[in-house]
């Protein structure tokens, strides 16, 4: 099939590369000329395991094309995916200007039947707005061309997006008629062979499914962080609690790891957007607001532990931070807990030495003017002369470090672990002051 994708960001590029990898011919369209030229030269704008080789191999094979010419893109594919950004507006609602801009562009250039597919995460009712935008342009052209609008939300985890696309848990298709469903089913057939993963429904239900899924996962995280905060005050160990409740198949082990808050491009934005959607129809979504509030508060917990340990005197001190991306296997720092932590440390007059396996360039871009930030080439390098080690991201290389090196490099043997990587009793035996999230041993110096 010939398929067009508008947007070469995280969702668009993964979608385009994976569809091309199974034999479809895909054209990715973007307004950013530099990004398109870089992609043609094999330069990938994001870090995502496994993505670079399939982009390069399919580009070289001629199945994956990149262009800034919108007309060329509209002419190319019968399926037109919209995979552009929906950033939060000032009030937290999703900004649909890029989605509607692409819709109007499709309406302007289409000359035959098209299936317009909302792949971006969009509020309920966006399908109607996309349909109206295209119809208005066609009417201005005095055209009665047929088209269908479909919702096909993505369920890709950053850090495992290629695997998620190639072996999806489900493929949700929201449509008002059977014709577009069959065309999209054909496009996804290579990913749907062992058993039928396609779930078809109406457009509004598909749009809500995406938000509901992310809100549910965010709720589990915030709930577990509440349990962790309670465990600290009760002298319990939240890791034992996690194992105890995770063994219940109705709960499961996924997304019940306590920590210093969730971040990224999806959960914060999508929870806020769903809250705004609820407000717009006169419903007070108390639970979702609490999920967001707990997460906002949780991002300051690591700083609060550090500040209390040093008796509120952080001025002039230096802290080593391991992990800057919002999660492992990505360079994405959107809404990352590390950003809240660093900014609070700087506000208190402290200096930061930081290391991350992939997010160093992004950190440099965001904090280019920050004098109190030293980005180090290795995790060991940023320990030297620091007053304590703070861990924000659970990268694999942080799980079994040389603890003797850590102890000898720090001015005092203090570790503040926002991801519960180590065992408190073992750390105590090694002579560390170790503070994690909701661990029983941590409570002794805080109450």
Q: Could you tell me which residues are beta bridge partners of residue 348?
A: none
Q: Using CA atoms, how far apart are residues 365 and 42, in angstroms rounded to an integer?
A: 21
Tokens 């809100």: give the residue. Answer: 215
Measured CA to CA, the distance from residue 140 to residue 107 in angstroms comes to: 10
- To the query of whether residue 266 is one of the catalytic residues in this protein, the response is yes
d(CA 26, CA 145): 23
Q: How far apart are CA 351 and CA 318, in angstroms?
A: 5
| Residue 330 contacts residue 159 (beta carbons within 8 Å) | yes
Distance between CA atoms of 135 and 411, rounded to whole angstroms? 67
198-201 sheet: strands from edge to edge: 64-67, 25-29, 2-6, 79-82, 114-118, 147-151, 171-174, 198-201
Residues 6+ apart with CB under 8 A from 155: 164, 168, 169, 170, 172, 210, 213
Catalytic residue among 260, 266, 382, 392: 266
d(CA 270, CA 212) in angstroms, rounded, equals: 9
User: What is the Rg, in whole angstroms, of the alpha carbon atoms belonging to the chain?
Assistant: 24
374 phi, psi to nearest 5 deg: -120, 110
Beta strands in 348-410, from DSSP E residues, in sequence order: 351-355, 373-375, 388-391
- What's the helix, strand, coil split of the chain in %, to 5? 45, 15, 40
Residues paired with residue 416 on neighbouring β-strands, in sequence order: 390, 435
Nearest to 151 by CA among 182, 127, 177, 186: 127
Distances (CA, A) of 379 to 175, 356, 375, 411: 49, 8, 10, 16
Catalytic residue numbers?
266
């Amino acid at each position: 099939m010939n398929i067009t994708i508008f947007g070469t960001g995280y969702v668009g590029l993964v979608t385009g590369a994976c569809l091309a990898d199974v034999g479809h011919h895909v054209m990715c369209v973007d307004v950013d000329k530099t990004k398109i030229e870089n992609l043609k030269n094999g330069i990938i704008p994001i870090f995502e395991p496994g993505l670079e080789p399939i982009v390069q191999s399919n580009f070289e094979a001629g199945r994956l094309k990149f262009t800034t010419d919108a007309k060329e893109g509209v002419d190319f594919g019968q399926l037109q995916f919209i995979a552009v950004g929906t950033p939060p507006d000032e009030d937290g609602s999703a900004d649909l200007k890029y989605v509607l801009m692409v819709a109007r562009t499709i309406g302007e250039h289409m000359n035959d039947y098209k299936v317009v597919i909302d792949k971006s995460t969009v509020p309920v009712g966006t399908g109607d707005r996309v349909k109206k935008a295209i119809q208005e342009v066609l009417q201005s052209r005095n055209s009665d061309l047929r088209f269908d609008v479909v919702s096909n939300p993505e369920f890709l985890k950053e850090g495992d997006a290629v695997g998620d696309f190639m072996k999806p848990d489900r493929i949700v298709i929201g449509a008002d008629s059977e014709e577009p469903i069959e065309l999209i089913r054909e496009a996804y057939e290579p990913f749907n062979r062992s058993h039928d993963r396609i779930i078809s429904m109406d457009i509004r239900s598909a749009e809500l499914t995406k938000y509901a899924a992310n809100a549910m996962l965010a709720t589990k995280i915030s709930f577990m962080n509440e349990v962790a905060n309670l465990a600290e005050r009760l002298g319990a160990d939240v890791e034992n609690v996690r194992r105890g409740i995770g063994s219940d198949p109705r709960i499961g082990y996924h997304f019940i790891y306590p920590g210093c808050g969730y971040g990224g491009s999806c959960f914060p934005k999508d929870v806020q957007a769903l809250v705004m959607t609820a407000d717009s129809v006169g419903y007070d979504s108390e639970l979702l607001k609490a999920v967001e509030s707990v997460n906002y508060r949780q991002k300051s917990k690591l700083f609060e532990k550090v500040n209390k340990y040093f008796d509120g005197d952080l001025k002039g001190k230096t802290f080593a931070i391991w992990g800057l991306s919002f999660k492992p296997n990505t360079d994405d720092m959107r809404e990352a807990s590390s950003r809240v932590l660093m900014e609070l440390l700087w506000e208190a007059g402290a200096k930061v030495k930081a290391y991350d396996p992939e997010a160093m360039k992004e950190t440099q871009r965001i904090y280019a003017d920050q004098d109190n930030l030293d980005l180090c080439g290795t995790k060991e390098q940023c320990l030297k002369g620091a007053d304590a080690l703070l861990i924000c991201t659970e990268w694999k290389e942080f799980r079994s470090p040389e603890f003797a090196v850590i102890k000898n490099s720090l001015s005092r043997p203090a570790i503040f672990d926002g991801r519960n990587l180590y065992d408190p009793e073992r750390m105590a035996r090694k002579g560390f002051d170790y503070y994690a999230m909701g661990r029983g041993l941590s409570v002794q110096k805080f109450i």
